[in-house]
Structure formats: structure tokens, C-alpha cells
Structure 1
Amino acid sequence: MPKLTKSYVDKVQPKAADALHWDSELKGFGLRVTPARKLSFIVQGRVGTAGRASPTVRLTIGPYGVFTVDQARDAARERLRDMRMGIDPRAAASRSAAQRKTLQDVADDYLEQRPLKPRSKRAIEQAVAGPFKAFGWTDKPLANISRANVSEAFMEMRERAPVHANTAFGILRAIVNFAINEYVDKDGSPIIKDNPVKALYRKWAHVTPRTGRVPDDKLGAVWKHLEAARQRAHNGHTGAALDLICFLLLTGCRLSEAAELTWDRVNLEEGWWHLPDPKNRNPVWLPLPTQAMELLRSRATRQGYVFGSYNGHIKDPRDSMKNLSAVAGCKLTPHDLRRTFTHVGVASCSIEIVKVELLTNHIPQSVTARHYMETSKLQYLKPQVQQIADAIVGA
């Protein structure tokens, strides 16, 4: 067994398979030579002091050329000393790698490993590429983002955009929680131990919940406006946008749910439509009122998207909503139509709130409703959705 020296390493020749050359001076220090004559220094030893009962660990120190023989021997000596003290260098390397992971690295892992919907993925990507990049955090190790960093950045952002600040730092909280649970030592203890977003526990921006809806005394005018506008729609895009708005008002669904609806998920014979993977991940079959069924039957095509447009489907019926807002006397968003449906169901039709929640695909909060009511196949709520639609159309 020779002593590894520069002259020895320079002269060593490859074999048909990997060959190991062990150093006579430091037990456990060696050189690996591949058939292509790639030379790498290695170290091998047992973790702990239990002799053969201790696990054997072999690590690569680095390639010859990057390390001199003496530098590699010194590195091997440090690794062997750690092993004798019971420190597994593989765990230390894993811990160090986790601590070096940048915010971008962790966000990428989160996006890859979590079953997120496209909209959630976009929100995370926008937060990382937007405010977090502006703060200089994208390429910073996540473990180095402190509570003080978070508190200062959040307060600055809250001054400009309180809602966006809450959203962005809520995303950061989720990313760090993922890191805490995902990157762990061999004993399961987290490598990243603190979530710096905890610094915001008394600093979150107070945001008043939105309550916009069509005013009761304008509901009739709004529906009449939609009917008249549908009759004079000058092109297919405008017609599809108006039909989409009517559908939102008659069913109380979310904009994305209606806009992305395809004909294969509509059954006009039985009077229902299907959401296989909605926001709350509860697949649901929803009843259609007769007015919505008539509207769908009037659509020219029965292939692809129900509310199709030039490049796929209607995404934002902005112009039509602007005109509708003028009639209502207040600014309306597509989600305000969902709130209008709910309000009419509860206030005008005296329908139990739990049934309206089901019709708008909210999972009821009560234990009884969650466990004893049918929450997916909701065709049995046809009378209630019809009652709401009749109240809207007849307002």
C-alpha cells in the first residue's frame, strides 16, 4: 500500500474497472481511478465508535486537480474525525445542501411536488419573479431570510398594496412551511427550523371582505339589459361573453368554472353540468335551471368550449361587464354575480344557507352537512336553483 503523492498519482494507470488506491499514511484516504482515467479522492470510515457495528461511509472529496494530494488528505482527516465523533458526513452534506437552497430552488421544489392548480402555480411564480425578486431574495438561501427581513419588506409592500402584500407573504409562508417539512435530518428533525413569516402575526393588512352584488332594485333592469344585449350582439365573441354573464348569474358559479366549461360536461337532457376538479377539489354535478338550459341550447356549436371565442374560450367579459355596471349603477365584477345568486337564494327565496352553499360548490362547514348530506351529486337541488333563477328573471 503506497503513500499517495503527486508523483504516484501522476503515474497511476487506469484498469478495465474502477480501481481504488489506498493511502498508507492515513487509513481511509484513497484515490479512485475510472477506466477513462478520471481521478477523484475519496474517504471511507465508520461512523461512531462501535467498531464493526458502526455503519461504513464512503464519500468523494473531489477531483484531482481541484484538490492537491495534501489538500485532499487534510479534508479526509477532517471527515474521519467527524465520523469518529458520530457525525455522519452524508447527513452533514445533506443539511448543508438544504441550507444553501435559495428561495427560487425551494419554490421550484414546491411547484414540482405539490398538487397545485394552474392558477395557484401562476400566483407562486408571479410572487417569486415579482416582489421576492425585487427584495433580492430569489437567489438568497431561504434559511438566510430572517424575521427582520420579512417584517421590513412586508411593511413596505403593505403601504403600497395591502391585498397583494397579504397574498405574497401568504405564499412565502407556504413555501417555508414546505421546506420545514421536506428538508429534514435522518432523525426527522427539520433543517430549516423557523418560518420568518411568523413575524407578521400582528402585522397582516386588514382587508374588508368584498360584498359587491347587483342591488335588489336594479336586478330586473340588469336582466332585461342582458336579454336585449344578447339579441343585438354583433359578433360571436360578444354573444359568448353575454351568455357567459347570464350563466354566471343563473348558476352562481365562478368565472373560471363557466369560462372553461366544455360541452362534454353538460347534459341538457337531464339538466345538469359537471365540475370534475373545482377549486375545493370536490367533484360536483350541479342542476341547471330551465333558463340556463334554454341559453345553452341557443349556443351555435356543441363542440369544445361552451363559451368559445377566437382563441379558445372567453376569459374576461370586461366590456360587457362595464356596460352591465352602468345599468346597475355600481361597478360589478363576475364574482359579484355569484354573490348576487347567493343573496337572492337566501334573502329573496328563503332557501337554507347550506343548500345555497352546495349550489355554489362550497363545502358546508357543519359536521352534519359534511357527513350526512350529498355534496357531489346535487341534482336533488334542482327545485332550489330553479327558484333562484325564477326570482332573478322575474325581478
Structure 2
Amino acid sequence: MIGTFLSRSFIDQVEPGGKPVVHYDAQLKGFGLRGMPSGYKSWIVEYRPYGGGRRVGSRRMVLGSAATLTAEEARKEAKRILALVRLGGDPAKGRESDREAPTVREFSRKFMDDHVREKRKRRTVVMYQDHFDRLINPLIGSLKIHLVTKSDVSSMHRKIAKSGQGGRRREGSANRVLTTLSSMFGFAIREDVLPDNFVNPVTRVERYPENYTAHYLTFEELTKVGAALRMGEAIGIPWRIGETARGSKHLAKPENRRTIIDPHAAAAVRLLLLTGARKGEILNLRWDEVDFERKLLLLPDSKTGEKTIPLNSFALAVLANIPRIGPYVIPGRRDPDKPRGNIQKTWLSILRQAGIAHARIHDLRHTHASVGVAQSVGLAIIGKILGHTSTAMTARYSHLETNPVRRGSEKIGRSISKAMGH
């Protein structure tokens, strides 16, 4: 039906018929009101896309229900759509594209399969997958990838930072998740899933400041760490728990409340200190990568690629005394054919017994370097021992003291071993 000015008074007069009927507006061509036999009424707009003539098929878009959208609001939206059509567009196709666009959860699978697993190291694959499974997808996984906004990402960032147990902040984890998500958006642009002019919403989100300062263990602290290690191996490190704590009546007898450090975990701590290797390099070390004859660890893959770590005589002595029960130097506790997952609980027990408030396992690597500087081992040599790819990475240790590779490693190992009472 054509020739009626569509208004609120007209809508109220429209009665349901035996079939759907469209009442077209007399002033705005293509704008109309559709009435259904059920009594439902909705606003529609019809047009021929891309500014085409009669040889181009017409399209119809539903603007919304007449019960929730006023005639004035619907007319304004219809004008906007018709203006886009005159510019050569097809608004209905845009809606179809929106429906077909992948969600963050859907595209994250493609990102992991086609990019991360193909071009990144195993540890990066594990970390990224964990970020998507536990943090990103539960929070924004249902959003269409092209509709994710800075506000969505900021909200996710804040929630992750507040998600630590016991009210603890997880700002570092929240920042690393942003890196994962930003990488996914970059991949989507390169794959033409998003247009070249798409603004990555992650780049505009401010990261939390991370002000953790590396803890360089002093010689006195190394002595305490060595004593705690020996105690843990021999009789165990006493638990620290109050007798009135919840569930304390079910605890073992006081004389049995000790954490025994197994020889492999103890060896891992010593090797981290004596070699300056990264935690993953020691925990994933295989026996076939240990060259006793040439005094080297030959790592086929590390954070910086293929890597060789020199072994001083003290590290060699530790390796020579480790029980061999599988292919890995530090085998898993439950499955000796797999590497040890982590030694965090062991390290925390050692710190508690040694009376050291804060020190990460990674600080053992920093300590190795700081001891080298104190022993006047040149920064270039320390960089080679640690496997740094740039002198800037090693320069961080230059403030610790005024200022060939195996000799440097030997001097560091001797100092650490002496401090730890070996």
C-alpha cells in the first residue's frame, strides 16, 4: 500500500489481516511499515543496492519493531540507509558480513593452528593456548572479532588483574594476555579477516607498570640457601603452620611435618645457580644434551634458538651425582619419562628456611651473573655464558661492581659453590 504518511496515529489504525501487508510511506520512498497476521508490526526499508536500476534485485532490511522504535526514529534510520545506498553501498550485505564474521573464540583456533603452532616455540604455544582457554575466551570469546573495542579489552585486562587468589593482583599476567591478544589481531589483519585500516584495540590499552626488581643473592644468602638445601635433602625443611590453623588436627605429627627435597629438585636449584641457565633449559634438559667430555650443555632449542652452555667443574660434579631414571636430567615425579613441570614449592621452602623474603627462581640466573661481575669476569664473557643475543641485555649487571668463557664460568662456579658450603 502506497501513499500514506507513516506516523504513530496511522500505526494505531492498522489492523491485522489474513496475510502480511506492507504500508509504504508517501514521502520517503522505500520506507514502510509491515503488518503481520499475528498483529506484530515492524519498520522496513527497501532499496536496490549499489545505486543500481531495475535490473538489480531489491533488498529489504528490517529496522525494528514498531512497539519499541518510534516512527521518527525509524524514518531517520531509513534515511541513513538510503543515503549509503546512493553512495554505492549495500547495508544489508554489511549485516550479513557481521553475522558471518568469526568470534574471538572461533578465530583463536585458526590463530593457534595456522600461526602459533607453525611459527612459535613450544613454550609460546602452551602459554598462548592457556591464555585463550582460561582468560581471553571466557571473558570476550563470544564477541565478533571485528566488533571488539578498546573498552572490551580494558575491561578484560582489569578483571584478569583482579583475579588472583586471596585478593592478590595479577598485573603481570594481565599484561602478557594483552600481548597474546594483540598478536591475534595482527594475524587477522594479515589474513584479510580484518581490513588494513582496522585499529587494533589492544594497542590503545595502557599496561600495568611492572616494577619487580631482580634480587641478587648475596654471599651470605647463598650460604643460607646452601644450608637449607642440605637440610631439605637430609631431614626435610620444617613446615610453618600454626597449631590453631584450620584443619591442623588432621596434620601429621610435628616430627613428621617436613618437606623433603628430592635429589633431582635439589640438583635443579644448584644447576640454575652454577650455570646461569634459564629454568626451562634445566627442567627440560635431556641426558643426551649433556656432553661430559667437552664440558658443555648442547641445547638444540632455547628461548634464543640453538644454544651451548659451558659447564664448570662444580656443575659437572652436580650432574655426575644425579640419579639417572629416564631421558631427562630432572625427571617428572610421577612419570620419569617426562620432564619436571616446576620446582616452585621446593624453592619457596628453601627461601622460607633461609629467611629470604622475596626472590624468584629466575633470580638465580641474575645471581650467577652478579657473582661473575663481582669476580671481575668481563661483561662480554658473562653474556656468552648466559647466551645473551645483545650486549644491552648483559649491560644491566654493569652497576654491580666496578669493572676466556670457560675461565669465567669456573670462577663463578667456585664462588657460588664456596658460598653454599660445598
Aligned position for 2:310: 287
Alpha-carbon spacing, 1:132–1:302, altered in 2? closer, same or farther (3 Å): closer
* 1:390, distance to aligned residue in structure 2 (A): 0.7
Q: Is the 8 A contact 1:322 1:331 kept in 2?
A: no
* 1:110, distance to aligned residue in structure 2 (A): 1.8
Q: How does 1:37-52 map to 2 (within 5 A)?
A: none
Aligned position for 2:111: 110
Alpha-carbon spacing, 1:212–1:272, altered in 2? closer, same or farther (3 Å): same
SS in 1 for 2:294: coil
Within the candidate set 302, 323, 326, 1:300 is matched to 323
Question: What is the distance in 2 between the residues matched to 1:118 and 1:299?
Answer: 27
Aligned position for 1:181: 190
Q: Is the 8 A contact 2:285 2:330 kept in 1?
A: yes
Q: How does 1:123-142 map to 2 (within 5 A)?
A: 123-135=127-139, 137-142=140-145
1:361 has 2:387 as partner: yes
Question: What is the distance in 1 between the residues matched to 2:99 and 2:296?
Answer: 50
% identical aligned pairs: 20
Within the candidate set 204, 208, 211, 1:205 is matched to 208
When structure 1 is superposed on structure 2, of 166-175 and 217-226 the one drifting more is: 217-226
The alignment's TM-score, normalised by the length of structure 1, stands at: 0.64
Alpha-carbon spacing, 1:132–1:225, altered in 2? closer, same or farther (3 Å): closer
* 1:366, distance to aligned residue in structure 2 (A): 5.8
Within the candidate set 314, 333, 343, 1:317 is matched to 343
The alignment's TM-score, normalised by the length of structure 2, stands at: 0.60
Question: What is the distance in 1 between the residues matched to 2:58 and 2:103?
Answer: 26
Count residues in correspondence: 289
* 1:363, distance to aligned residue in structure 2 (A): 1.0
Aligned partner of 2:340: which letter? I
Within the candidate set 210, 217, 222, 1:219 is matched to 222
Aligned partner of 1:130: which letter? R
Question: What is the distance in 2 between the residues matched to 1:162 and 1:99?
Answer: 35
Q: What stretches of structure 2 of length at least 5 have no aligned partner?
A: 1-55, 60-87, 163-168, 237-257, 396-403
Deviations along 1:287-334, one digit per CA (max 9) or x if unpaired, are: 101011111111232751112243133322244323321215324432
Aligned position for 2:5: none
Alpha-carbon spacing, 1:106–1:152, altered in 2? closer, same or farther (3 Å): same
SS in 1 for 2:178: helix
Question: What is the distance in 2 between the residues matched to 1:313 and 1:132?
Answer: 28
Deviations along 1:266-294, one digit per CA (max 9) or x if unpaired, are: 0111110111110122x111110101111
* 1:157, distance to aligned residue in structure 2 (A): 4.2
Aligned partner of 1:117: which letter? K
Deviations along 1:6-53, one digit per CA (max 9) or x if unpaired, are: xxxxxxxxxxxxxxxxxxxxxxxxxxxxxxxxxxxxxxxxxxxxxxxx
* 1:228, distance to aligned residue in structure 2 (A): 5.6
Q: What stretches of structure 1 of length at least 5 have no aligned partner?
A: 1-72, 77-86, 370-379
Q: Is the 8 A contact 1:237 1:314 kept in 2?
A: no
Aligned partner of 2:362: which letter? H
1:256 has 2:283 as partner: no
Aligned position for 1:349: 375
Aligned position for 1:329: 356
SS in 1 for 2:347: helix
Question: What is the distance in 1 between the residues matched to 2:265 and 2:387?
Answer: 22
SS in 2 for 1:394: helix
